[in-house]
Amino acid sequence: MESVRQPRDLDRLSRAELDRLAAEIREFLIENVSRTGGHLGPNLGVVELTIALHRVFDSPRDALIWDVGHQAYVHKLLTGRQDFEKLRCAGGVSGYPSRAESEHDIVENSHASTALSYADGVAKAFRLRGLTDRRVVGVIGDGALTGGMAWEALNNIAGGDLPVVIVVNDNERSYAPTIGGLSNHLGTLRTTQGYERFLDWGKNTLARTPYVGGAIYETLHGMKKGLKDIVAPQGMFEDLGLKYIGPIDGHDVDAVESALRRAKAFGGPVIVHVHTRKGEGYEPARADEVHQLHQVNPQTNPETGLPFQVKGTSWTDVFAEEMLKIGNDRPDVVGITAAMLIPVGLHKFAQQYPDRIYDVGIAEQHAVTSAAGLAFGGLHPVVAVYATFLNRAFDQVLMDCALHKAGVTFVLDRAGITGPDGASHHGVWDLSILQVVPGIRVAVPRDAAQVRALVREATDIDDAPTVVRFSKGSVGPEIEAVDRVDGVDILRRAAKPVNEGDLLIIATGPLAGAALAAAEELAAEGVEATVVDPRWVKPVNPALVDLARAHRAVVTVEDNGRVGGVGAAISQALQDAGVLRPTKVLGVPPEFQAHDERPAILARLGLDGPGIAAAGRVLHAQREI
């Protein structure tokens, strides 16, 4: 592996050396990703495929586009990035394609079902610029093909004659086993002897008997259309106008290379259907029947694929338990997920109520509108997705749910700063996006008790969509309220009498602990602060306006974008009520945040105790209170 520093180094390797390279890459990935955490199973499955791609195509002259980028670790290794010591850590290699890292990374896509649209655009640009000797390759998994955008792209690619090679990396999984009609169709292709292979058999085997064999082969060839539909039902792709090659054993470098060279020479849109095995070469991954170790935590035992230390209860675990209890109490409650049943915590509900769970594949738009239909039919759907993925279904939330006052509850996992997965996976947009949706109600729990309470409250609302969002990782200690005022939890009262409080800190969800730490720091300096948790952040609770009126300055804190978020809405509410107090809105600036540990990013953004205290200190100095 050390001899391969750029793709053309692969050209001089023999087949035996290629096999050795594949083995070394797997050993490298298991050792390094087990230590840093990251996507292990998907990358173990594409080793031979990636080697073949880089031997046949000339990256970056030919554009290789990965969908999604979590299967691009091998691509990174073959393009000169073999220092995985700080994979997904600050200053280290990103867990997804990164244009800042290498010219071989064309796009930084880490949301599924986008690569084919990128490929269509790049191929059109090449043609218009006269670059007719360059090829575009989109590598997309069967799971990503469940997304509607991929089919929009296929429709456009098939309608032209651009030299786009579509490699379908079919490992029968996304996060979990792929579901739906497409999966069934690909399964048929995988398990049915290919038409071309059948003709080869007729030609090479039957033809050994000169007259009979040859006649049979000619007959088979004449029956091409009917036989093709029976023996290899790839007609779905060919009816779109796409040349189909496959299925190919994705772990046979020679076979994959041969198929890719045929596709490259064709000169038009081609689908190369490659069958791979997620987690190939690593028994713990192959033994994981559901995920094949799709992603492993840092400090995982490479011998077993299990973490050395079991971390505390996660936010997702708390939701999973409460959702099961709600299902026991409410037969009208159903669950919907977009190919992430376990990651979002709906697996326990699904085990108990298999008829009340719907996995729609990577199709967030469909999930939301289907949920609206379930609500119209008298049920209460709970749509659980990562916060960053709700962005993809904004129109459906707005027009299909909110406009119709549909009683749908959205549970947003991985909300706020998520850490090592980087810019595309920070869930820092939802509280801003949802502010513009009329009638929607949004809750942000600060601890496990509030997750349970707010999910219950949300599912009790049937005349509007509701949202509950929480963080990634382990849930912290519970924070008891000292009082509750019209639904707002008072976590700490200023020591001064009423109407003489110096500062009101409005803390959103899990940042309540940091706000309390800031209040203690300020108290040591003689600045008294009241700390409150709104629990429900949209609409703005009028009690917050009254509390602000009783203080001389206000700081809002949220794990979301500052632009148009909770703090901006509170500031507007204070202005509308004529409560003109110096207000500091703390949150994430309108910049993409690079991968790093969550605490480090929060500290850098001033969203930890010292950062919040510093903001309060500035307001105190300005007001001289």
Give CA–CA dist 280/567, Å, rounded.
48
Dump strand ranges (E) for 360-500: 380-386, 409-413, 441-443, 466-469, 483-485, 488-492
Dihedral Cα 202, 208, 211, 216, nearest 10 deg: -10
Structure tokens at 462: 């049937």
Distance, in Å, from the CA atom of 468 to the CA atom of 145, rounded to the nearest integer, reads 29
The residue assigned the tokens 């209890």 is 325
Torsion sign over Cα 168, 65, 29, 178 = negative
The number of CA neighbours under 13 Å toward the Cβ of 203 is: 7
192 in Cβ contact with 231 (< 8 Å):
yes
* 239 marked ligand binding residue: no
The verdict on whether 278 is a catalytic residue reads yes
Is 392 one of the catalytic residues?
yes
With H, G, I as helix, E, B as strand and everything else as coil, classify residue 559. Answer: strand
The C-alpha R_g of the chain, in whole angstroms, comes to 28
282 is in an annotated binding site: yes
Candidate list 48, 322, 364, 521, residue with the active-site label: 364
- Indicate which residue of 55, 243, 278, 356 is catalytic: 278
3 state DSSP class of 314: strand
Task: Report the sign of the C-alpha dihedral through residues 118, 121, 125, 127, in that order.
Answer: positive
**Cross-strand partners of 169:** 141, 274
Task: For residue 411, give the nearest of 477, 360, 471 by alpha carbon.
Answer: 471
Q: Is 171 known to sit in a ligand binding site? A: yes
User: Annotated binding residue at 560?
Assistant: no
β-strand 136-141 against 164-170: which pairing, if any? parallel
Would you say 143 is a known binding-site residue? yes
Residue 314 annotated as part of some ligand binding site: no
The residue to which tokens 């915590």 are assigned: 345
111 annotated among ligand-binding-site residues? yes
Gap between the Cα atoms of 301 and 303, Å rounded: 5
Of 138, 255, 144, nearest to 197 by C-alpha is: 255
CA–CA dist 585, 618 (Å, integer) = 13
Find the catalytic residue in 392, 441, 535, 538. Answer: 392
96 annotated among ligand-binding-site residues: no
- Binding site, by residue number, is 70, 110-112, 142-144, 171, 282, 364
* Residues in the annotated binding site for Mg(2+): 142, 171
Cite the annotated binding site for thiamine diphosphate by residue number. Answer: 70, 110-112, 143-144, 171, 282, 364
Q: Which residues are catalytic?
A: 278, 364, 392
